[in-house]
Structure 1
Amino acid sequence: MLSNKTIEIVKATAPVLEVKGKEITTNFYKSMFAAHPELLNVFNHANQQKGRQQTALANTVTAAAHYIDRLEVLVPVVKQIAHKHRSLAVKAEHYPIVGEFLLKAIKEVLGDAATEEILEAWGEAYHEIAAIFIQVEKEMYEEAERQENGWKDFKTFKIVKKAKESGNITSFYLAPVDGKKLPSFKPGQYITVRVKINGEEFLQNRQYSLSDVPNDEAFRISVKREDEQTPAGKVSNFLHEAPNGLEVEVSPPAGDFILEEDEKPVYFLAGGVGITPLLSMLKTSVTSQPNRKVTFIHAARNSDVLAFEVEVKEAIKVTKEGKSYLCYSNPTNKDLKLRNFDHEGYVDRAFLEEIVEEKDAHFYVCGPVPFLQTVVNELKQLEVKEENIHYEFFGPAMKLEEATTV
């Protein structure tokens, strides 16, 4: 238990951390990786380059400062992060290293303001918080290994099939090299795929949603080729060029962005490749609860990059009360001629007011950050309760209101 004095000191630093948080975490990662380059085999390099990992950690540290006397408030956040850690094989022995360099970063950024008393208090607080993460993750590792057909950390798989879903999305079917059956998973969960790319010193980890329902033979992930951004997506491009038979490493399924299987109506709102976890949820929902009211909304630029249109329509046919809508923000001339979509433009409040018939429903949202920001905000403006809105970032979780600054 932390002393009252330690709690007071940590809470008093919260305003400073809100201002200096990202500067501290940027310094932290730079120093830690310089001293322990082997940890670059664990972390997602793309999220580091984009600053998303630094922002996510800064948010977590600031939240810890605010709620150090009520750590139970942080349990949902801890569990979400712990899922990602377990999927990346973050271990208990990594936490002392993180603590050492986090305290060094606080001292370096805050200078004389970071007194010995403050650093000692934060050292005690970090030890307490780390113990919670380590225990939660220990239970997750044990559960992943203990489940039927489960395993620990990473296991060798191979690409047994590739299927082009659109102009920029390809599905990859991954099967265990040892020929064993797969564990089940909850719709909406993801796996970590770890690859060795020629010319890269360190292993590359990426987390991809499972885009189909569970089966014994192969996991399906559906990956967007990221060659229009800077830096280009190393792993996505590597996979798109990979031949069948290529071996990769895969972690057991993880994640807490999962389908609530109650009787409430459910709305799925997908932006681009954000359809991947929602498609798994949709196909599971209509099979297990065919009487449940389901509405699926998919937003894409146009038909050239639209994926899974047939799978969505086939799934909707299974349910007795199902509807699907297709939104194109930039339809092609062919699209305009055929009128093969339901709404032109972005998913906005006017469109949602027309489609959403029940406020007391579950809303699952996944897609690019601007899509998440817009849709979640508009749902709140429509007076949908916050606890009924479920969304997931691809990558480290951030606050929606600050995500565009990253």
Structure 2
Amino acid sequence: MLSEKTIEIVKATAPVLEVKGKEITTYFYKTMFADHPELLNIFNHANQEKGRQQTALANTVYAAAKYIDQLEVLIPAVKQIGHKHRSLAVKPEHYPIVGQYLLKAIKEVLGEAATDDIINAWAEAYEVIAKVFIDVEAEMYKEASEQAGGWIDFKEFEVVDKKEESAVVTSFYLKPKDGAPLPSYLPGQYITVKLEIPDEEYILNRQYSLSAAPVHDYYRISVKKEMEQKPEGKVSNYLHEHVNVGDTVEVSAPAGDFYLNTESEAPVAFISGGVGITPMMGMLESLAVKKSTRPVVFIHASRNEDVHPFKEETKQWVEQLPNAQSYVKYEQVDGYLTQELLKEIVREDSSCYVCGPAAFMEAVIRQLKANGINEEAIHYEFFGPAMVLEE
């Protein structure tokens, strides 16, 4: 339990952290990695270079300060982050390191304003917050390892098939090298792929949605090849150009809190942009396999037909569903998705699943809300650290 004085001091720092948060987290990562470069084997370097990880942590620190006396409010966010941590093998022993450098960053950025009382209060608060994360993640590690076919951290998988889905997306079919059964997963979840790339100093990790339903004896990921080699495209280019059938990759057990409720019979709308279609394919196939009678609308937006993956597969699953429709919007031909079109084809009582670039999701979610869709019925997934959408 935190003292009243600690709670008061931490809450009082929230407005400052809202303004200075990214400056603090930028300094934090810079100094922590300088002293502990081994942690670069865990963190996504592209997210670091683009500032997304710094922004996500700044949002988390600000929320922790704001709700330090109501930490239960943060549990959904803690679980979302916990899934990512578990899939990357973040462990309890990493938290003291993070705490040390976070306090150092707060002191450095706030300067004389960071009194001993403030630093001591944050040190006390961090211990409590870290314990919440550690406890949540311990349950996730336990669940991942104890399920049928489960494992801890990473395991070797063989690429058993490789299929081009569009001009920029290729699917990789993965099976455990030890022949063990695959743990099931929830349609929409992701795995982490760990690679040692020649001439790269550190191990590189990337999280990819599972793009098929949990009914197969393989995992399928579908990777967009980024045109720029650095920092975004380092792993995707390597997978496309150098990883082939028979090769081995290391994989963590499925994780993630963006998934379809397959038990519901409510109408459902899948709305994806670009490679955001990947988790939707697992969801759609799951409904087709179940022979669901739910009203289903599948909407996909791409720049053009060449970069639109899964055209035939989408058609196959939609045709197996008695109450399903699909729509495609090619930006270079048809323009963007509009509020009017969404109003016309997405029922107000739908559960909506949205995935794609951040700007796409911002626009779609804003339009869905304007059309009367309840916020609780809108679910979305970031490819990378969770950010705040400007809706």
TM-score bracket, normalised by the shorter chain, equals: over 0.9
User: What is the rounded CA distance, in whole Å, between the counterparts of 1:348 and 1:76 in structure 2?
Assistant: 30
User: What is the rounded CA distance, in whole Å, between the counterparts of 2:192 and 2:214 in structure 1?
Assistant: 16
1:290 touches 1:318 (CA, 8 Å); kept in 2?
no
Structure 1 partner of 2:284:
282
Q: Shift of residue 178 of structure 1? A: 1.2
User: What is the rounded CA distance, in whole Å, between the counterparts of 1:194 and 1:230 in structure 2?
Assistant: 17
Question: What amino acid is aligned across from residue 393 of structure 1 in structure 2?
Answer: F
Q: Shift of residue 350 of structure 1? A: 1.7
Q: 1:307 aligns with which of 303, 306, 309?
A: 309
Question: What amino acid is aligned across from residue 310 of structure 1 in structure 2?
Answer: E
Q: Shift of residue 231 of structure 1? A: 3.4
1:328-372 superposed Cα distances (whole Å, 9 cap, x missing partner): 0013xxxxxxxxxxxx1111112112212x212100000011110
**Equivalent residues in 2 for 1:3-402 (5 A)?**
3-215=3-215, 217-228=217-228, 231-241=231-241, 242-261=243-262, 262-331=264-333, 344-356=334-346, 358-401=347-390
Question: What amino acid is aligned across from residue 32 of structure 1 in structure 2?
Answer: M
1:183 touches 1:216 (CA, 8 Å); kept in 2?
no
User: What is the rounded CA distance, in whole Å, between the counterparts of 1:359 and 1:78 in structure 2?
Assistant: 30
Hey, which bits of structure 1, 4+ residues long, moved more than 6 A? none
1:238-272 superposed Cα distances (whole Å, 9 cap, x missing partner): 00012222211100000010112311100000101
Which consecutive residues of structure 2, in runs of 5 or more, have no partner in the other structure?
none
User: What is the rounded CA distance, in whole Å, between the counterparts of 2:76 and 2:292 in structure 1?
Assistant: 30
Q: Shift of residue 230 of structure 1? A: 5.4
1:182 touches 1:215 (CA, 8 Å); kept in 2?
no
For residue 188 of structure 2, give the secondary structure of its aligned residue in structure 1: coil
1:73-104 superposed Cα distances (whole Å, 9 cap, x missing partner): 00100000000000000000000000000000
User: What is the rounded CA distance, in whole Å, between the counterparts of 1:48 and 1:129 in structure 2?
Assistant: 23
For residue 292 of structure 2, give the secondary structure of its aligned residue in structure 1: coil
1:101-137 superposed Cα distances (whole Å, 9 cap, x missing partner): 0000000000010000000000111100000100110
User: What is the rounded CA distance, in whole Å, between the counterparts of 2:126 and 2:3 in structure 1?
Assistant: 13
Does 190-199 or 232-241 show the bigger shift? 232-241
Structure 2 partner of 1:339:
none
Question: What amino acid is aligned across from residue 187 of structure 2 in structure 1?
Answer: P
For residue 69 of structure 1, give the secondary structure of its aligned residue in structure 2: coil
1:364 touches 1:389 (CA, 8 Å); kept in 2?
yes
TM score, norm. by length of structure 2: 0.98
1:354-392 superposed Cα distances (whole Å, 9 cap, x missing partner): 212x21210000001111011011111112110000001
1:204-227 superposed Cα distances (whole Å, 9 cap, x missing partner): 000000000124532100000001
User: What is the rounded CA distance, in whole Å, between the counterparts of 2:180 and 2:216 in structure 1?
Assistant: 9
User: What is the rounded CA distance, in whole Å, between the counterparts of 2:144 and 2:357 in structure 1?
Assistant: 29
User: What is the rounded CA distance, in whole Å, between the counterparts of 1:103 and 1:177 in structure 2?
Assistant: 43
1:169 touches 1:305 (CA, 8 Å); kept in 2?
yes
Question: What amino acid is aligned across from residue 350 of structure 1 in structure 2?
Answer: E
Q: Shift of residue 290 of structure 1? A: 1.8
1:117-159 superposed Cα distances (whole Å, 9 cap, x missing partner): 0000001111000001001100100110000000000001121
1:42-80 superposed Cα distances (whole Å, 9 cap, x missing partner): 111110011000000000000001000000000100000
User: What is the rounded CA distance, in whole Å, between the counterparts of 1:144 and 1:328 in structure 2?
Assistant: 39
Q: Shift of residue 228 of structure 1? A: 4.3
1:190-209 superposed Cα distances (whole Å, 9 cap, x missing partner): 00000001111100000000
TM score, norm. by length of structure 1: 0.94
For residue 64 of structure 2, give the secondary structure of its aligned residue in structure 1: helix
1:208 touches 1:223 (CA, 8 Å); kept in 2?
yes
User: What is the rounded CA distance, in whole Å, between the counterparts of 2:261 and 2:179 in structure 1?
Assistant: 32
User: Over the residues paired in the alignment, what is the CA RMSD in angstroms?
Assistant: 1.1
User: What is the rounded CA distance, in whole Å, between the counterparts of 1:161 and 1:286 in structure 2?
Assistant: 23
Question: What amino acid is aligned across from residue 277 of structure 2 in structure 1?
Answer: I
Question: What amino acid is aligned across from residue 159 of structure 1 in structure 2?
Answer: V
User: What is the rounded CA distance, in whole Å, between the counterparts of 1:316 and 1:244 in structure 2?
Assistant: 30
Length, aligned pairs only: 389
For residue 270 of structure 2, give the secondary structure of its aligned residue in structure 1: strand
User: What is the rounded CA distance, in whole Å, between the counterparts of 1:374 and 1:188 in structure 2?
Assistant: 21
